Amino acid sequence: MMSIKKVTVALFVDRLSNQWVVRDPDGDFWIVPFGESGWDRRRPFELSEISQLESIPRHYIYLLDLPF
């Protein structure tokens, strides 16, 4: 039997750049600016050895106006 792993949306702050980072349901990472239509203004985020992602509680997702 094959198991299916579902990736959920996650919210982080990158302590190096002080920017919001979102992991979308597909597992991709995005820099998302604060405010209205933030998701429409997103940019790709590449994880690196120097990335300092800190997990943020999910209830703050509304601050970024995400479509999920």
Q: Which domain holds residue 34?
A: 10-64
Tell me, yes or no, whether 4 lies in a domain.
Answer: no
Residue 6 has pLDDT above 70, yes or no: no
Tell me, yes or no, whether 38 lies in a domain.
Answer: yes
CB environment 26-41: b (16+ within 10 A), e (fewer): eeebbbbbeeeebbee
Write out pLDDT tens, residues 43-58: 999 999 999 999 999 8
Tell me, yes or no, whether 49 lies in a domain.
Answer: yes
Mean pLDDT in residue range 57-64: 85
63 in helix, strand or coil?
helix
Count up the domains in the chain and report the number: 1
Write out pLDDT tens, residues 10-31: 999 999 999 999 999 999 999 9
